Amino acid sequence: MLVQIARRLLIAIPTMLAIIAVAFFLMRAAPGSPFDAERQVPAEIEQRLKAAYDLDKPVSEQFAIYLGKLILHGDLGPSMKYKDKDVADIIAEGLPTSLIIGAAAMILALCVGCSLGVWAALRQNRPEDYVAMSFAVAGVCLPPLVLAPLFSLIFAVELRWLPSAGLYRTDYTVSHLLLPVVTLALPQIAIISRLIRASMIEAMRSNAIRTARAKGLPEPQVIWRHALPVAMIPVVSYLGPAISTVLTGGFVIETVYQLPGIGKQFTIAALQRDYTLVMGVVILYAAMIIFFNMMSDVLYSTLDPRARRD
């Protein structure tokens, strides 16, 4: 297991470097510069502004400087739009919101998805199964983009049960988080419940389960101790992709519900050519996705020896 982690980490280094390089040059290829909006600035001041951020140097040299600071000092640099803020500060402000929403959605998706899937599998081809699976299909077809505005329309605008938007740092209440978290979790609930239903049905037909029943184990024990652990394996391997979907899906959620997370910052930064902030967010998300994918794969191959390579 340690060897596997070490090997994954070794691959992660060139991966991160490649991601950083592509994002850096792509961002610089975009027309315009961070100081475009300030047209009234005289030419020499703009020159000095650019010099202050090293923007007057050739792009390859800028990349070398950026990478040097990043690797040697872990310095993401100053934001080019928020004048007196560092990228690290902006990320630190937004990260808790994004993480809370993401983690809550993930936990909700796992709990509800697994229960729904197992419940449906144990009632295969009965009406309850069809109802649960219709719900799951609908969940995949009602993406956050559609759900978020409709939820706010129904629960916030029409019924006035919940606030539609505005999560402020000083005022974290469950009611603010409820709609964003449910919206983010629903497509994942759908996917996880379908996955676990299929694998649970397969597990219940296996010889191991027939043996367990034959030796007279009570049915709950057959299900919980013998079938469920096997059925969970596909879900574990889906965890990595699920986490990256939830993390990036947080984007729409943050925009629609006007939450101050980092996903929302990224789009604004990309449109305003805030080079350093874009880079900071890309690096953070890439690192998180690589990490969670690695954890998911390691966990998967620990649980299922058949999945181990070589």
Partner 1 sequence: MADAALASHPGGAARGRSLWDDARRRLARNPAAVIGLGVLAVLTVLGLVGVANYSFAGLMGLHPVDMLFRESVSAPPSLGAGFLLGTDTQGRDLFARVMFGLGISLAVGLVATAVSLVIGVLWGATAGYIGGAVDSAMMRFVDILYSVPFIFFVILLMVAFGTNIWLIFVAIGAVEWLTMARIVRGQTISLRQKEFVEAAKAGGADGAAIIARHIVPNLMGPVVVFATLNVARVVLLESFLSFLGLGVQEPLTSLGKLIADGANNMDTAPWMIVYPAVVMFVTLLCLNFVGDGLRDALDPKDR
Q: Residues with Cβ < 8 Å from 119, sequence gap 6 or more? A: 128, 132
Q: CA-to-CA distance for 192 and 197, rounded, in angstroms? A: 8
Closest CA to 263 of 105, 73, 118: 105
For partner 1, which residue of 52, 111, 153, 307 counts as binding (CB under 8 A)? 153
Residue 148 binds to partner 1 (criterion: CB under 8 A): yes
Residue 251 binds to partner 1 (criterion: CB under 8 A): yes
One character per residue 196-225, x = contact with partner 1 (rule: CB under 8 A): -----x------------------------
Q: Given the rule CB under 8 A, which of 6-14, 66-74, 80-88, 219-227 is the region that contacts partner 1? A: 6-14
Q: Given the rule CB under 8 A, which of 55-63, 95-103, 171-179, 250-258 is the region that contacts partner 1? A: 250-258
Alpha helices in 205-274 (DSSP H): 207-214, 219-221, 228-231, 233-256, 262-271
Q: Which is nearer to partner 1, 14 or 220 (CB)?
A: 14
Residue 111 binds to partner 1 (criterion: CB under 8 A): no
- Sign of the dihedral defined by the CA atoms of residues 179, 96, 35, 65, in that order: negative
Residue 210: count other Cβ atoms within 10 Å of its Cβ.
12
* The two structure tokens encoding residue 293: 């994918």
Q: In the complex, which residues of this chain contact partner 1 (CB under 8 A)?
A: 11-12, 14-15, 18-19, 22-23, 26-27, 29-31, 137-138, 140-143, 145-146, 148-150, 152-153, 157, 201, 244, 247-248, 251-252, 255-256, 266-267, 270-271, 278, 281-282, 285-286, 289-290, 293
